[in-house]
Amino acid sequence: MNSKIRKYWPQYKWSNVFSMVKNMKQHPRRYTESFEGKLVVITGATAGIGYQTARKYAAMGAHIIMINRNLEKSKKVRREIAEEFGTPIESFIADLSLLADIQRVGKYLLSLERPIDTVIHNAGVHMEFRQETPDGLETNLVLHYLCPLIITRMLMPKYQLDRAGRVIFVSSEAYRFAVWGLDLEDLEWKRRRYSGLKAYGAGKQAQILSMHILARELASHNVTIHAMHPGLVRTESGRDNGRLYQWYKRNIIDRFSDTPEVSAEALYYLGASPEVLQASGVFFHLTTEEELAPPARDLEAAEALWQRTRELLCEKGVAL
């Protein structure tokens, strides 16, 4: 840890923090052109940001595939959007905390005979206490990092063939909670005292670091990848946490938050506007490009995480 402090401390700048605070007051850019006939995949689309994003893309004419966990909620959203907007909408049921289901999703998307124009990795969770999936992996790490990484890697052959596409990670400014970077020897918080905020931030920072590696691989396929902070919005995230968190969320977070429609506008801009095709591997605060904090832009750390992730998944029988 001391070596990381010595490495990152000189790189931290107050201007970076001031920019983040300034960006919190910005409204997202809007893209008003149609996305008719385009195919968009959204994970976690039955509530909150994912739900509003599905509605936004449907309103603009897109063909939508939702990847949801809850069958009944998925049926309800699918029926509602189809009736209201008259656009094609499908759903694929999968629990994205399970490695087998993540790979099922990847295989399904890989089998599609038409190009996927935009993939939005929105599914996520905030937990007060450490939990493990049936695969024996820390849940936060799987949902925020391993899931979008595995699916994107599985889609490489399709992107190579289709020669187009966009990938968006719904990230968070909370990645900054991993102030001195990731502990590669304890990615799953088995040795350290678990902190919901720190673990959430670490999962998002891992996601951002993987974006740098994926941006390099996707560039030759004419595919862009970005991460974005969706703003401070009211969602159902953390609804199963304890009473203290519920009070804090209800009285502090939600009180000063925007509605998920703001995030949906930003995700439509990032997923549809031609202006975003200029670059790849960028972090956006809504639609404003933002410089990452030092640990999240460390390419050596990204490579080390990539290698550790390969080892971790190999132990579970998954090839990255």
The more confidently predicted of residues 152 and 245 is 152
In-domain check, residue 10: no
Give residue 291's domain range. Answer: 35-315
CB 170 within 8 A of CB 126: no
Average pLDDT over residues 41-55: 97
pLDDT digits (tens, 9 = 90+) for 194-249: 999 999 999 999 999 999 999 999 999 999 999 999 998 655 554 444 454 454 44
- Tell me whether residue 139 is in a domain: yes
Q: pLDDT at residue 151 above 70?
A: yes
Q: Would you place residue 252 in the very low, low, confident or very high pLDDT band (cuts 50, 70, 90)?
A: very low
- 142 touches 254 (CB < 8 A): no
Q: What is the rounded CA–CA span in Å between residue 259 and residue 264?
A: 9
- The percentage of residues in the chain with a pLDDT greater than 70, rounded to a whole number, is 92
The answer to whether position 217 is within a domain reads yes
Has residue 254 got a pLDDT over 70?
no
Sheet hosting strand 63-68, strand order edge to edge: 89-93, 63-68, 39-43, 118-121, 165-170, 223-229, 282-285, 288-289
Contact between 19 and 290 (Cβ < 8 Å): yes
pLDDT in tens, 164-197: 999 999 999 999 999 999 999 999 999 999 999 9
272, 33 contact by CB (below 8 A):
yes
Read off the tokens for 40: 């968009």
Residue 57 included in any domain: yes
Q: Is residue 3 part of a domain?
A: no
pLDDT at 242: 47
- Alpha helices of the chain — where are they, by DSSP H? 2-8, 14-23, 48-59, 71-85, 99-111, 139-141, 147-154, 156-162, 196-219, 243-248, 260-272, 299-315
Q: Write the CATH number for 138.
A: 3.40.50.720
Determine, yes or no, domain membership for 44: yes
Domain count, the chain: 1
Query: Is 13 contained in some domain?
Result: no
Residue 9, in any domain of the structure: no
What confidence score (pLDDT) does residue 132 get? 96
- pLDDT for 243 equals 53
Read off the DSSP letter of residue 156. Answer: H
Residue with the larger pLDDT of the pair 107 and 253: 107
- Report the pLDDT value the prediction gives residue 70, as an integer from 0 to 100: 97
